[in-house]
Structure 1
Amino acid sequence: MNAKDVVTTMWTELMTAKDPAVIQKWVAPTYEQHSPYVQTGREGLEQLVASLRDDYSYELVRIFSDGDLVVLHGIHRNWLNGVFTGGEAVVGVDMFRVVDDQIQEHWDASVPVIRISASGRTQLDGPATVEHAGMTQQSANTAKAFVQTVLVDKQHQRLPEFISKHGLAQHITEIADGAACLTQALAVSDKEYVAIRKMVAEGEFVAVQSEGRVNGQTHTFWDLFRVDAHAKIAEQWQVAAVFPDVVPHDNGAF
C-alpha cells in the first residue's frame, strides 16, 4: 500500500469506527507521537480512542502525500473530554510518517473554528482535490521560497513576487484577500517564524510546517498553499497552534 492508503485506512478504522484493535495492525511498535495532548506509543493512541466523546466525528477536507509523509486537513467535531469539552469544532492538520505500511510518527495542530472572517471565506473551503500531479516540484519550490523569504527572513517587501496575478484567496480569518492585505497583516503580526521543519507537496498543494513563537511561546505554524500554473501562490490556509511547555512525552513538537 502507498502511504496515503495506509493513513486513510487507519484513520477510518481508528477515528471514525473508533476501534482500538486496529492499532496493532496499522501503528508501529516504535510509534512516536508529537501531539502535545497525547502520550507517545501505541498506548497513547489507545487512551486517545478511549477518551473520544460518543458524538465525536471527523470531516476530511484535504489529503495529500509526498513520499512517506501524509497530511490531513479537516475538522474535528465534539473533541476530547478534558481538553475541549463543550462540543467544540476545531480545524486540524495531522501529518503522519509511514514506514513499511505502518504509522511511525505523527504531528498535529488544531485551532477553534471561527465563524466570521475578513475575506468571507472559511478556514477550510476552497479547492480540495489534486488536479495537477505534475506540478509537485514547482509547487514545493514556490512554497518553500515564500515561507523562507517572506515569513522566516521577514522580507515582506518581496511578498508580491510570490503571489498569483489573479490574486490571493485567503483563509486566515483575520486577513482579507490579496497580497496587500497579507503584507499589512504581517507587518503587525505577533507570529515569529523561526525555521521550516517539514514540507509535504502533491500537485498544486503544499503544506509547510514551521517552528515559530508567539510572545516567546513555542508554536507550530502550518501554512497550506495552492499554487497556480505559473508557480505563484493562489490560495492560503493556516493552522497556528501553541505547543505547551508541559506535554505528556519528550519527543518535542517537530
Structure 2
Amino acid sequence: MKAKEVVSEMWSALMTNSDPNVIDQYVNPDYRQHSPYVKNGPDGLRDLLATLRPDYRYEPIRFIGDDHFVVMHGIHHNWLNNIMTGGEVVVGIDIFRVENDQIAEHWDASVPIAPASISGRSQFDGPTEITNPELTEVSRKTAEHYVKDVLINKRVEEINQWVSEEVIQHNPAIGDSITALRAALESSEKDYRRIHRIVAEGELVAVQSEGAVRGQVHTFWDVLRIDVTGKIVEMWQVAAVFPDIVPHANGPF
C-alpha cells in the first residue's frame, strides 16, 4: 500500500469510527510517539481513543505524502475536553512515518482556531488538491531554501528569490504580500534553528522545523504552495510550544 493509503485507512477507522482494533493492523508494535500529549507505543493510541469526546470530529483539509511520510493538515472539533490544547476547535498538523504498511512514528502540533487574519483569511482555507505532481522536486527545493536561507539564517533580503510578490498569507498576524511578510520576519521572535523534515507532493510542501520563542522550545510547521515559477504563492503555519513535561522520552523531533 502507498503511505497515504495506510494513514487514511488507519485514521478513518481509529479517529472517525473509534475502532481500536485497527491499531493492531496498521500500527507497528514499536510505534514511536512524539506528540506532547500522547504516550508512546500502540497503547498510547488506545488511551487516546478512550479520552476522545463522543462528539469529536476531524475535518481533513490537506493531505501531502511521499514514499514514507504523510502530512495531514486539518481541524479537530471538540478536542480532548478543552484540557490539552487550549481550545475545543484546533487546527493541527500531523506527520506520520510509514514502514512496511504500518505507521512507525508520529509527530504533531496544534493551535486554537484564531479569528480571521489581517487579510481576512482563515488558518486553513485555500487550495487543497494536488494538481501539478510534476512540481514535487521544485517544491521541495524552494521550501528548503526559503526555510534555511530566510528563516534559519535570517537572510530576509533574499526573500524575493523564493517568495512571490503577491504571496497569500494564512498566518493570522501577517497580511498578504511579500512586503507584509518581510516586515513580519524582521520583527519576529521566532528563532528557527534546524529543518527536520520536508514532505513534498506536487505544488504543496510541508516543512517541520525546530526552534524557539523567547527560549521556549517550539515546533514550527510551514505548509507552502509553490507555483510553476518555483516561488511560494501561499503560506499556512502552525507554531506550537513543546511542553517541559510530556508522557514519553522521545522528544519533539
Return the TM-score normalized by structure 1: 0.97
Aligned amino acid, residue 212 of structure 2 = R
> Contact 1:78–1:86 at 8 Å: present in 2 too?
no
Matched ranges for 1:130-209 at <5 A: 130-165=130-165, 167-209=166-208
Q: CA deviation at 1:87?
A: 6.5
Distance 1:230 1:62, change over 3 A: same
The 1-side partners of 2:195 and 2:228 are apart by: 24
Distance 1:157 1:4, change over 3 A: same
Q: Does 1:226 align with 2:219?
A: no
Distance 1:14 1:169, change over 3 A: same
Instruction: Quote the RMSD (CA, aligned, Å).
Output: 1.2
- What secondary structure does 1:177 align onto? coil
Counterpart of 2:211 in structure 1 is 212
The 1-side partners of 2:85 and 2:161 are apart by: 44
Counterpart of 2:77 in structure 1 is 77
Q: CA deviation at 1:164?
A: 2.2
Counterpart of 2:15 in structure 1 is 15
> Contact 2:76–2:91 at 8 Å: present in 1 too?
yes
- Tell me the percent identity: 54
Counterpart of 2:89 in structure 1 is 89
The 1-side partners of 2:23 and 2:183 are apart by: 46
- What secondary structure does 2:198 align onto? strand
The 2-side partners of 1:218 and 1:244 are apart by: 8
The 2-side partners of 1:130 and 1:230 are apart by: 16
Q: CA deviation at 1:160?
A: 1.8
List runs of 5+ in structure 2 lacking aligned partners.
none
The 1-side partners of 2:53 and 2:239 are apart by: 24
Aligned amino acid, residue 64 of structure 2 = F
Q: Report how many residues are paired.
A: 253
Counterpart of 1:46 in structure 2 is 46
Distance 1:138 1:86, change over 3 A: closer
> Contact 1:224–1:237 at 8 Å: present in 2 too?
yes
- What secondary structure does 2:79 align onto? coil
List runs of 5+ in structure 1 lacking aligned partners.
none
Q: Which runs of 4+ in 1 moved over 2 A?
A: 81-87
